[in-house]
Amino acid sequence: MNQKTQQRNLSEIGEILIKQKKEMGYAQNSIRICENDLEHLRTFMEQEGVELYSADIGERYLATEYCNKTDIRHSLCRSFISQLDDCMLYGKYSLYHCRKIIISTPDCFVEIETEYTDWCREKGNGAVTLQHKHHAFACFFSFLENIGCTDISDMKPDYIIKAVSNEKSPDNHRYFREILKFLAEKNLLPYDYSALIPRSRSSFHLPSTYDKEERKLLESVSDRSKTLGKRDYAIILLANRLGIRSGDIAGMTFDEVLFDQNKIVFNQEKTKDAQELYLVTDVKDALLDYIENGRPKSDDEHIFLSYRAPHNPLLSSGIYCIIAKGFREAGIDTNGKKHGGHSLRASLATDMVNTGETYEQTRKILGHKSPEVIKHYAKLDIERLRLCALEARPPAGFFERFLDGEEVFS
């Protein structure tokens, strides 16, 4: 049956929705708002002469009662209708809805993708990198299937060139080259066609950094008299004072913070390497204040939870939003600069190398796996760069005569 036309009694769907919200720990006020929304919807259905609810009725209700899409009530009602539709179709509602267009690898190439993924994993690629490569693989072979290539043996150079021309992302071009190298290495292709894909040299951008005064101002914006401020302050300190990545802050659990030993011990999400950091007093006090006086009651092992029910663990995107909001509220100029957790890591690294820490020590503290990465911060090491400055050669020839006021060009 078409999901738009599937119908069900509104009272039954409403009971499912209210029950789930209560089980997930929603506040009583949120429950009352949901009950009021159900009553308003029921009144609308009676006026329309409709007995059973359907997704189409939900859309009509939204368009009629909340036609101004810029109104916050439209957004709230849209969420309510989406939850109702989920309860009707699946017996429960989903907290998140993926809005991305998912591209899947054609069935005829799935087995090869599995081999490629295993090959990449053996090379040490992490989960996030594998996710990017899966997307690139799916894009590449979906396009090949669309132009009639359904088997590796059918792959021709002109097909490859068309697939590359169709893809605008330089990052995916890099992954395409690797895929072709893999296919040649495994003798699935007679030649290494990776040379058909031109290399684009991306320009290096200096890391976005902020000075000590700006970062001190960032730390001061959180209202620590409120529970939300306690959480945000602890998060900002972890990023600013210790340089911990957003993903690792989001994933931080109670057993990783050893308060009695004044240290944090965790496996980094990005590199999978173990990391141990000294828990400085200010950060320790901020964490304890949040845990004891601001954190919602929950059995979840993660330290940082959402402020509103159902109090799920924060995601790395949530950590970014908290830090970015802090920059905004502090009035710090972020024009043309990144303003999330990564910029605070870069600022900490820059401070360390500018105050005499070795690049190797800085690399270890920030948890970088490759020694090459930290060399980027050398470009911000102003004091040491001054030591490398060369004296200007004295003017000679035409240039000297020009400086003397002689007309040397006619």
DSSP per-residue letters across 362-379: HHHHHT-SSTTGGGGGGG
Distance CA 218, CA 220 (A): 5
pLDDT at 203 over 60: no
DSSP category for residue 262: T
In angstroms, rounded to a whole number, what is the distance separating the alpha carbons of residues 70 and 78?
12
Residue 206 domain-assigned?
no
Give me the mean pLDDT over the 347-373 stretch. Answer: 74
- For residues 224 and 285, state if they share a domain: yes
Q: Which position has the token pair 């302050």?
A: 233
Last residue of a domain, one of 90, 118, 145: 90
Predicted pLDDT at 2: 47
Q: Which of 168-177, 215-224, 268-277, 381-390 has the lowest mean pLDDT?
A: 381-390
Question: In terms of residues, how long is the chain?
Answer: 410
Region 140-152: what's the mean pLDDT?
Answer: 91
Q: Cβ distance 368 to 374 under 8 Å?
A: yes
Instruction: Tell me, yes or no, whether 406 lies in a domain.
Output: no
- Measured in whole angstroms, the distance separating CA 305 from the mean position of its chain's CA atoms is 17
Pair of tokens at residue 239: 């990023």
Q: Are 241 and 118 in a shared domain?
A: no
Are residues 171 and 111 both part of a single domain?
Answer: yes
pLDDT band at 1 (very low <50, low <70, confident <90, very high): very low
Please state whether 272 falls in left (phi above 0), alpha (psi between -120 and 50) or beta. left
pLDDT band at 403 (very low <50, low <70, confident <90, very high): confident
pLDDT at residue 55 is higher than 70: yes
Region 51-57 average pLDDT: 90
The last residue of a domain, from among 152, 171, 196: 196
Q: Are 250 and 343 contained in the same domain?
A: yes
Using a pLDDT cut of 70, give the percent of the chain over it: 88
- In the predicted structure, residue 362 carries a pLDDT above the cut 80: no
pLDDT in tens, 159-172: 999 998 888 888 88
Flag whether 119 is in a domain: yes
Burial 176-201 (b: 16+ CB within 10 A, else e): bbbbbebbeeeeebeeebbeebeeee
For residue 20, pLDDT beyond 60: yes
Q: CA angle, corner 196, sides to 193 and 202, nearest 5?
A: 120
Which residue range forms the structural domain that includes residue 318?
212-383
As given in the structure block, the two tokens for residue 407 are 């007309």
How many CB atoms are located within 10 Å of the residue 372 CB?
9
CATH number at residue 334: 1.10.443.10
Count structural domains, the chain.
3
Banded model confidence at residue 409, pLDDT cuts 50, 70, 90? low
Q: Are residues 240 and 332 in the same domain?
A: yes
The pLDDT tens digits for 265-323 are 999 888 788 889 999 999 999 999 999 999 999 999 999 999 887 888 998 889 999 99
